[in-house]
Structure 1
Amino acid sequence: MKLFGIIRAPEWWGYKLPPLLSVGYATALTSGTTLYHVAPLFLFFLGSLAIGAVYVSIINDITDIEEDIAVGKTNRMANLSPLWRGALITGCLAIGGIFGYFMWPDIQTIIFYTFAWMSFSLYSLPPFRFKERGLLGVLCDACGAHLFPSLLMVSGISYTVGMEIDYYWLTLVAIWALMFGCRGILWHQFLDRENDIKTNISTFATRIAPERFKPAAPAFFAVELAAFGAMLKHVNLIAVWISLVLYAVLVIIRYSRYANIPIILITPRHKHTQVLMIDYYQTFFPLSLLLAASFSQPHVWGLLIAHVVLFPSNIIVPARDYWMAIAALYRQLRYS
């Protein structure tokens, strides 16, 4: 079994990490720091968060083995011996501990890093298993995957560049990350709702009908957008607003050409969908920050290229959709 298959890297690498890096880029830019000079720091935090994502993927699969087998779902841990499973968990904890050691003496960042790992563990592992405790599970996953890692980026970057933490910025990032995280796990839970019901897994989504929760979804999204809009205003770069317009064009292209319905978090049955703002957070936001910095700071082009190399599909897929739409428009104009 390939390593990337075991750690489920394709399921989180390009989805979870770029938004977190964006927070780091934006924090450095608002501090007046040259991004190129702190590029090794981005790589360090990327590694520290990646090993946390590996850990949560492994413990999620291990604790879900019986349920996944019951519904015929592939589980990457099922064919591994208990010894190998324990070795993988121990290895993740050891590597995470090494990253934590090198964060010393930045106590605040270490706390955020530790809380992220604690949230991962509480969500999946018995006897806590917050995954099956309704709203508590939603908050736990959101904190582990988004809130604490985002706060870690703000705290860690600020500490390293010798800047006092901007608590207004930290608050905006916290609100946005928590709401975005809640929306993400709720989308996932409602998508898995039928399988969870079959296996008697009591998540938040199994306790409430999608139709009943659907009216509440815009409230989550409104708070998320309000916080993120304030973040963009705080960053104060025209590039992020231009990229927002380009993202809106992409949403329209995907809806008109592929019937991908924009949704907040509840996926309609038998419909192709696109979760609103996901592509912006994963692709447009980090690229716009790096592009803006590359015109005003030396050598940031190198960091931009590194980002593209690390997350190629995030750029290739939207670029393909733009290209197909432009080619179709060209053909239409040519033959009309």
Structure 2
Amino acid sequence: MIIAEVIRWKEWYHSKLALFVFANYYLLFLSAEITFRDLFPVILLICWFILLMAFGYMINDYADQFSDRAAGKEKLLSKLKKNHQILILLLIFCSTFLFLLPFYKDPIVIALSICNLALAIMYSAPPFRLKERGIWGIIGASMAQWMVPVVMVFAVFGHYDVDTFIFAVFYLLIGLRFMFTHQLHDYPNDIQSGTLTFAVEYTPEKTYRLARFLFSAELLFLLALIALIAVLNPFFIALMIVYLLFFMTCLYPVLRKKGLPQLLSSFDTIPLADLYFFWLPFCLSLFLGLKNPVFFIVTLVELVWKMGYLRYYKDMIWLKRTPGV
């Protein structure tokens, strides 16, 4: 679809959207009882997040269209007339607030929404253009795409506790690592187009070392998050052990051949992506179904939505069994 291509849907629906939905599952899981009516704020948040991501990616393409053309990677948005580009951006910008109307009395929700949109604009558009201001660009994008949206979920549910902090920092660290991977991956194009990113300014070697450090911190917060869920449902530990055994026997032998430097600088096989974007959301959707069987519909949606990860597992098992690959 043209719309999906314009908003670059395939670049974030299986990752950023998946982890955003996971936070919603977690807050539903905290409730003693859940009904299908409890999905109403979740649906509103998902629609808001989709529009937010669409706006962020499109404003980036709008601001980068000349440098993208110079690098030979022209986006579909740039092929539209300029006034049409601006009109679409304004419509999406305003639409983000429509899905937050039920929460208009909450100043924190409104402030977070404005902050998110401001960060999206400041990342790409002049005179700020944070993406060319070294570490500030990486922090700004990580906050806009990962940290602030998850805090928004907690704000809508009115839940502020230690787990809010753990989720916020965990998502920020994931965002930072993904931004470093993105810049390492785009390094040749950025050199060609003259885009001064962190990796261009401070070299790929230094960027990789920082990404590796952040990955270590990310693992610590992952353990904290697993502990949070395990306290609520000890069976979660068993599911994590199953994943760990599967990872060590089927995934690790293949990933080890690539090496951490390649894994942290490529989007082909991102470390722990399957755990974050498939396994964790699926497990919590399963727990929601056990609380209220109606929510097994959500579990089914998760399986259909994440079929790509099941194919990924199949491919990894095939690679492990194929000598010399």
Same fold per superposition (TM over 0.5): yes
Please name the residue that 1:266 is paired with. Answer: 264
Amino acid at match of 2:265: T
Q: Is the 8 A contact 2:180 2:211 kept in 1?
A: no
Q: Which stretch shifts more, 293-302 or 13-22?
A: 293-302
Change (3 A) 1:295 1:101: closer
> Which whole-Å CA distance do the structure 2 matches of 1:325 and 1:138 have between them?
34
1:200 Cα offset (Å):
1.4
> Which whole-Å CA distance do the structure 1 matches of 2:33 and 2:118 have between them?
31
Instruction: List gaps (5 residues or longer) in structure 2.
Output: none
Change (3 A) 1:262 1:16: farther
Q: Does 1:244 align with 2:235?
A: no
From 186, 195, 200, the counterpart of 1:206: 200
Q: Is the 8 A contact 1:24 1:153 kept in 2?
A: yes
Please name the residue that 2:280 is paired with. Answer: 285
> Which whole-Å CA distance do the structure 1 matches of 2:31 and 2:201 have between them?
45
Amino acid at match of 2:160: D
Q: Is the 8 A contact 2:274 2:309 kept in 1?
A: no
Q: Does 1:193 align with 2:217?
A: no
Change (3 A) 1:79 1:100: same
> Which whole-Å CA distance do the structure 2 matches of 1:105 and 1:64 have between them?
36
> Which whole-Å CA distance do the structure 2 matches of 1:299 and 1:60 have between them?
40
| Count of aligned positions | 318
Instruction: List gaps (5 residues or longer) in structure 1.
Output: 160-164, 330-336
Instruction: Percent identity, please.
Output: 20
1:147 Cα offset (Å):
0.4
- Secondary structure of 2:269's partner? strand
Amino acid at match of 1:20: F
- Tell me the TM-score normalized by structure 2: 0.88
Please name the residue that 1:162 is paired with. Answer: none
CA displacement, residues 177-221 of structure 1 (integer Å, 9 cap, x when unaligned): 111111111110111011111211111111122223333333211
Q: Is the 8 A contact 1:250 1:318 kept in 2?
A: no
Q: Which stretch shifts more, 55-64 or 1-10?
A: 1-10
1:296 Cα offset (Å):
3.3
- C-alpha RMSD of the superposition: 2.6
Please name the residue that 2:113 is paired with. Answer: 113
Q: Is the 8 A contact 1:14 1:313 kept in 2?
A: no
> Which whole-Å CA distance do the structure 2 matches of 1:323 and 1:182 have between them?
30
1:2 Cα offset (Å):
1.4
> Which whole-Å CA distance do the structure 2 matches of 1:213 and 1:11 have between them?
22
1:64 Cα offset (Å):
1.1
- The 5 A counterparts of 1:1-336 are 2-34=2-34, 36-157=36-157, 159=158, 165-236=159-230, 237-248=233-244, 249-250=246-247, 252-254=249-251, 256=253, 261=258, 263=260, 266-267=264-265, 274-309=269-304, 311-321=305-315, 324=318
Q: Is the 8 A contact 1:119 1:141 kept in 2?
A: yes
> Which whole-Å CA distance do the structure 1 matches of 2:85 and 2:124 have between them?
15
> Which whole-Å CA distance do the structure 2 matches of 1:35 and 1:319 have between them?
33
- Tell me the TM-score normalized by structure 1: 0.86
